[in-house]
Amino acid sequence: MSRAWAWVWVWACLWVLPPPTHPAEILVLTPFGSRSVRSLFWEVTGALAARGHRVTLIAGGDAPLDRHVNVTHLVAPHSGLDQMDLFEVRRDGTAFRMLVRALPHVAKELYADPAVMAAWRRRHEFDAIIINSAVNEMAFPFLLGVSAPFITLSPTGTEPLQLSYLGNLVSPAALPSVLLPYSDSLTLWERLVNTLATIALRYVFRRSVSGPLVSALRPTFPDLPDPFSVYPRQSLALLHRHHLMDGAIPLLPNQVEVGCLTCRPPRPLPQDLERWLDEGRDVVYFSLGSLQEASRVPPQYTRVLFTAFAALPYRVLAKYVTLPFPQPPNVRIEEWLPQQDLLAHRSVKAFVTHCGKNSAGESIYHGVPMVGLPITNDHPRTCARLARRGEALVLQWETLTEEELVNAITTLMTEPKYSERVEGVSRRLKAQKETGLERAVWWVEYMIEHGDTYLRFSGADLSLAQYLLLDVLLIVVVAACVVLLPVCLLVRALYRRCHPAHACKPKVD
Please enumerate in sequence order all residues whose Cβ is within 8 A of that of 49, keeping only pairs 6 or more positions apart, or say none.
Answer: 55, 65, 68, 70, 71
CB 488 within 8 A of CB 494: no
Query: What is the band of 360 on the pLDDT scale with cuts at 50, 70, 90?
Result: very high
- Residue 130 has a pLDDT of 97
- Residue 63 has a pLDDT of 63
- Residue 82 has a pLDDT of 66
pLDDT of residue 206 exceeding 90: no
Give me the percent of the chain exceeding a pLDDT of 70. 91
Question: Who wins on pLDDT, 177 or 236?
Answer: 236
pLDDT of residue 2 exceeding 50: no
Question: Who wins on pLDDT, 411 or 204?
Answer: 411
* Mean predicted confidence (pLDDT) in 102-125: 92
Give CA–CA dist 364/430, Å, rounded. 11
CB 58 within 8 A of CB 123: no
- Residue 33 has a pLDDT of 81
Query: What is the band of 283 on the pLDDT scale with cuts at 50, 70, 90?
Result: very high
Poorest-pLDDT segment among 70-79, 311-320, 469-478: 70-79
DSSP secondary structure code for residue 282 in this structure: S
pLDDT of residue 450 exceeding 70: yes
E-state strands within 183-235: none
331 DSSP β-pair partners: 316
pLDDT digits (tens, 9 = 90+) for 135-177: 889 999 999 999 999 999 999 888 888 899 999 989 889 899 8
- Residue 421 has a pLDDT of 96
pLDDT of residue 6 exceeding 60: no
pTM of the model: 0.89
- Residue 4 has a pLDDT of 46
Q: Is 264 helix (H, G, I), strand (E, B) or coil?
A: coil
pLDDT of residue 50 exceeding 70: yes
Query: What is the band of 18 on the pLDDT scale with cuts at 50, 70, 90?
Result: low
Burial of 267 (0-12, 13-18, 19+ CB in 10 A): middle
Phi and psi dihedrals of 333, rounded to 5? Answer: -115, 135
- Residue 194 has a pLDDT of 92
pLDDT digits (tens, 9 = 90+) for 364-410: 999 999 999 999 888 999 999 999 999 999 999 999 999 999 999 99
Beta strand 54-60 with 71-76: parallel, antiparallel or unpaired? Answer: parallel
- Residue 75 has a pLDDT of 87
CB 353 within 8 A of CB 289: yes
- Residue 15 has a pLDDT of 47
pLDDT digits (tens, 9 = 90+) for 413-446: 999 999 999 999 999 999 999 999 999 999 999 9
Query: What is the band of 1 on the pLDDT scale with cuts at 50, 70, 90?
Result: very low
pLDDT of residue 504 exceeding 70: no
* Mean predicted confidence (pLDDT) in 435-461: 93
E-state strands within 288-434: 315-319, 331-334, 348-353, 370-372, 392-394
- Residue 485 has a pLDDT of 83
Count of residues in the chain: 509
Give CA–CA dist 197/200, Å, rounded. 5
